[in-house]
Amino acid sequence: MGACLSIAGPLPQQRALFFPDRAMPCRQALKGQPCRRKHCTYEHDASRSSLMQLLAVIGDATTTLDVCVFTITCNELADAIIAAAKRKVRVRVITDDIQATSQGSDVSELARTPGVTLRTDHQKEAHMHHKFALVDGTTLVNGSFNWTRAAVLTNYENVAITSGAPGLIGEYTREFERLWRAFA
């Protein structure tokens, strides 16, 4: 007989999201309400919207949300971060200092939001160019996806969502904490 393979703990759960989406999500659909528009051109079906699936992961945060991204110009993602803070989730955001003040950036709104703590890289020669988030310290969101409207609708982007992989998630957690201290 063959050897028995023993695995400690549950296997990691992973899924991939790919962009661009066909359309931005309908605001009513994001609220879980029926759309009243007769000919709405926005997306209503979460199974066909990578953004809606990403927003659901952020919406699942109950204790912590750590976001480390180059820029945030997608209002729906900024709204999801703000909603997490309103749910009393500890929210920390690290972003690029130059992008934080660029036209269309949602970073200044996040900085004014109670419950959101924000830091920037203070680097003129280099960019804080990471694109990852940690949800409750147990789920990793990472990939090529910039948190922008162009990434949602125009660019070919990817996001991997991983949970149940403490080694990998621990490495990203250590990187976030290292940057958080460095940019204090």
88 is catalytic: no
Long-range CB contacts for residues 57-63, cutoff 8 Å, separation at least 24:
57/135, 57/139, 57/141, 57/161, 58/84, 58/133, 58/135, 58/141, 59/83, 59/84, 60/135, 60/136, 60/139, 61/87, 61/89, 61/135, 61/136, 62/87, 62/89, 62/136, 63/89, 63/90, 63/136, 63/137
Helix count (H) and strand count (E) of the chain?
Answer: 7, 7
- Single out the catalytic residue among 86, 88, 122, 129: 129
Strand partners, 68: 94, 132
- Single out the catalytic residue among 21, 66, 96, 131: 131
| DSSP-H helix ranges across the chain | 27-30, 50-59, 75-86, 97-100, 107-111, 149-153, 166-182
136 is catalytic: yes
Strand partners, 143: 159
130 is catalytic: no
- Single out the catalytic residue among 79, 97, 127, 136: 136
Enter the DSSP assignment of 3: P
Cite the active site residues.
129, 131, 136
